[in-house]
Amino acid sequence: MTVAPAVPAPASEPAPATSGLCVRGLRVVYPATRGAAPLTAVDAVDLDVPRGQILALLGASGSGKSSLLRAVAGLEDIAAGTITWDGDDVVPVPVHRRGFGLMFQDGQLFPFRDVAGNIAYGLAGLPRPERARRVEEVLDVVGLPGYGDRAVTTLSGGQAQRVVLARALAPRPRLLLLDEPLSALDRALREQLATDLRTILKTQGTTALYVTHDQDEAMTVADRVGVMASGRLLRLDTPERLWANPGSARVARFLGFAPLLDADAAAHLGWADLLAGRPGELLALAPGALAVAQGDAGNADDGGTPGGGPATSGPAGYELSARARVAAVRMRGGRRVVEVEIAGEPAMAVLADGDAEPVRAGQEITVRLDRRRAAVVRA
Ligand SMILES: Nc1ncnc2c1ncn2[C@@H]1O[C@H](COP(=O)(O)OP(=O)(O)OP(=O)(O)O)[C@@H](O)[C@H]1O
């Protein structure tokens, strides 16, 4: 088992896609207002969403995700770049002729129409019987069979967003654009709906661009995730590859890797070989990379030599050990998590199952590292 070196992480697409959505060199600039300079919200972004794929754009508030999505929809003018579908330029095509569906955080159903009336809204061109059949069909797809006659004001938040999804899917858009579609819902509902959304989009073969600031949601829903900051696409890859190789310190920090250790800190812990002296690189520890060594809990200063074979053993996969000081002990998801200080940096270490005696703040303990959850990233 080795830690992969920080390979140049793909932040953009290599060759233009031949099918589906292809965005190249996209820039969105908001004009100067009241003395403020013009603002570049999207800067030189390349991305593809091949047919049938779901791509999520993930980033902090203000990183430019919505501006990018709105530019693809045709709701924002672009300052530079190209947007094509199956190779055809869509930039001159008006919003309603692009064949793209939209779903927003607050779907804004028409309160004076029932569920069926809301869904049928986008199907005006179809004959009445066909429209009714399609409404039934998409209600089935979103898990609300027979809800057509319900007044939308009687729906729960989760049901309402399912109706919004049904309405967006009904005209069979060639691309579905979703902007924070679940963020108005509470956490449990969001998790359930994220899983359902993926199943629905995949079984329908829907091509989708999905904007969210929630990394769990992005990784649950999407085939590939693009991480944005300051208008730029920093990294674009499958969830698995993003976790294995965040590429840069910025992406690693955004994903929750901590700490990021430089060569001196890694050497101090006896983990110098993991960085192999590569200049300008850091060792980034993913959540769950550290575990409290078994037998060490409640038993201070009794084992562990930096980098070597300690007196205690860790759970399978956790091979390398180091000494750490306990800062605090917390409960998370029904398990005890230990906040430690390692090489002067804060980090979290999980307690192995069966460690009955909790450690205490201030204690010196041995932590073990699962090197599969450590990545080398550019500083
Ligand atoms: N209509 C506008 N006019 C001027 N500036 C804007 C406009 N819309 C967005 N911006 C600015 O552009 C930048 C990117 O905003 P955008 O909404 O695209 O980010 P975001 O990542 O989607 O954020 P959020 O998650 O908060 O919606 C921000 O600095 C924002 O203030």
Over range 288-317, report the average pLDDT.
55
The answer, yes or no, to whether any atom of ligand 1 lies below 6 A from the CB of 41, is yes
Lowest mean pLDDT, pick from 137-141, 220-224, 333-337: 333-337
CATH T-level fold of 260-378? OB fold (Dihydrolipoamide Acetyltransferase, E2P) (2.40.50)
Q: Which alpha helices (DSSP H) does 105-238 contain, by range?
A: 115-120, 128-141, 157-169, 187-204, 215-221
Nearest CA to ligand 1 atom 5: 30
pLDDT reported for residue 107: 67
For residues 274 and 270, what is the distance between their CA atoms, to the nearest angstrom? Answer: 9
Please determine, for residue 7, whether its predicted confidence score (pLDDT) is greater than 70: no
- Ligand 1 centre distance from Cα of residue 63 (Å): 7
pLDDT reported for residue 248: 96
Q: Which ipTM was obtained for this model?
A: 0.97
Nearest CA to ligand 1 atom 28: 62
> Fold identical between 21-250 and 260-378?
no
Residue, of 149 and 268, whose pLDDT is higher: 149
- Ligand 1 centre distance from Cα of residue 27 (Å): 13
The answer, yes or no, to whether any atom of ligand 1 lies below 6 A from the CB of 230, is no
Residue, of 359 and 118, whose pLDDT is higher: 118
Please determine, for residue 298, whether its predicted confidence score (pLDDT) is greater than 90: no
Please determine, for residue 295, whether its predicted confidence score (pLDDT) is greater than 70: no
Identify the helix (H) or strand (E) that includes residue 374. strand 374-378
Which atom of ligand 1 approaches the CA of 213 most closely? 25
Nearest CA to ligand 1 atom 16: 64
Please determine, for residue 235, whether its predicted confidence score (pLDDT) is greater than 90: yes
- Ligand 1 centre distance from Cα of residue 78 (Å): 14
- Ligand 1 centre distance from Cα of residue 55 (Å): 20
Nearest CA to ligand 1 atom 1: 30
Please determine, for residue 366, whether its predicted confidence score (pLDDT) is greater than 70: yes
- Ligand 1 centre distance from Cα of residue 348 (Å): 33
Q: Which of 339, 350, 166, 345 is closest to 265 using CA atoms? A: 345
Range ranked top by mean pLDDT from 239-243, 267-271, 339-343, 369-373 = 239-243
Write the DSSP symbol of residue 362. Answer: T
Which atom of ligand 1 approaches the CA of 28 most closely? 12
Q: What is the pLDDT of residues 38-82, one digit of tens each?
A: 999 999 999 999 999 999 999 999 999 999 999 999 999 999 999
For residues 316 and 376, what is the distance between their CA atoms, to the nearest angstrom? Answer: 22
Average of per-residue pLDDT values in the chain = 87
The answer, yes or no, to whether any atom of ligand 1 lies below 6 A from the CB of 183, is no
Please determine, for residue 311, whether its predicted confidence score (pLDDT) is greater than 80: no
Nearest CA to ligand 1 atom 24: 61
The answer, yes or no, to whether any atom of ligand 1 lies below 6 A from the CB of 67, is yes
CATH no. for 21-250:
3.40.50.300
3-class secondary structure, 132: helix
- Ligand 1 centre distance from Cα of residue 177 (Å): 17
Annotated domain spans of the chain: 21-250, 260-378
**Helix, strand, coil shares, percent, the chain, to 5:** 25, 30, 40
